[in-house]
Amino acid sequence: MNAESDRSTVLVIDNHPLFRRGVKQLLALDPRLELVGEASSGEEGVPLVLGLDPDLVLLDLNMKGMNGIETLKQLREAGCAARIVMLTVSDSADDVVAAIRAGADGYLLKDMEPEDLLASIRDALFGRMAISDSLAGVLARALRGEAQSVVRDTGPLTDRERDILACIATGMSNKLIARELDITEGTVKVHVKNLLKKLNFRSRVEAAVWAVEHGVKRG
């Protein structure tokens, strides 16, 4: 495997050209990251993401036309399995919870230090929760409350889906799960989509919180 094949691909959707340029320059500091596309709106971004299939999407929340939450919902409904992280100026607890419930894998603020933002992008690519420290407590409480209000059972899951859920709980990305279980990344994406549907989760973050609290382990 050559070095290029180990690079993680990133696509940014943001209506501010200067900010997109800044993200591009930031990603260029890490040879393991590659910006493969950028869009100035949700309407432009959705088909671009579905066509390029990046590993990570950085998505602004407040955009003209289709906002970030609606863009996120359309991507998830279309079967997009990329990691999607909101990158915005809004620190509203309601916005954070709405984004995660719509299927976001993280929520970062634009006023972060560049090195912290880059570290959080790497965290997101490796399946870890990418969220600004000031918002982590709010999110954890909201997800925990929702997880406890819905009765869920892993009984309907196949052995493979249960193994993948356990991997998600440890913070592994689809790429790492594929390596761990010796299956293709495409197969992992299908299993993740199926197990989220069976357990009525709207994002893998919700699934991870629930799996950790219920001690889900590999078979």
Average pLDDT of the chain? 86
C-alpha span between 44 and 13 (Å, rounded): 8
141: confidence class by pLDDT, cuts 50, 70, 90: low
Q: Which two tokens stand for residue 175?
A: 């790429």
pLDDT in tens, 74-117: 998 998 888 899 999 998 878 888 888 888 888 999 999 999 99
pLDDT in tens, 7-36: 899 999 999 999 999 999 999 999 999 999
pLDDT at 3 over 50: no
Q: Is 159 exposed, middle or buried (0-12, 13-18, 19+ CB in 10 A)?
A: exposed
Q: In what order do the strands lie in the sheet with 130-131?
A: 33-39, 8-13, 56-59, 83-88, 106-109, 130-131
C-alpha span between 180 and 62 (Å, rounded): 38
C-alpha span between 19 and 34 (Å, rounded): 17
The DSSP code for 112 is S
Q: Which two tokens stand for residue 207?
A: 């699934």
Q: Do residues 78 and 50 lie in contact, with contact meaning Cβ atoms separated by under 8 Å?
A: yes
DSSP assignment of 37-64, as one string?
A: EEESSHHHHHHHHHHH--SEEEE-SS-S
| Domain annotation for the chain: domains and CATH numbers | 4-139 (3.40.50.2300), 150-213 (1.10.10.10)
Region of poorest pLDDT, from 65-69, 86-90, 146-150, 207-211: 146-150
Q: Do residues 56 and 121 lie in contact, with contact meaning Cβ atoms separated by under 8 Å?
A: yes
pLDDT in tens, 61-75: 999 899 999 999 999
Question: Across-strand partners of 119?
Answer: none
DSSP assignment of 61-82, as one string?
A: SS-SSS-HHHHHHHHHHTT--S
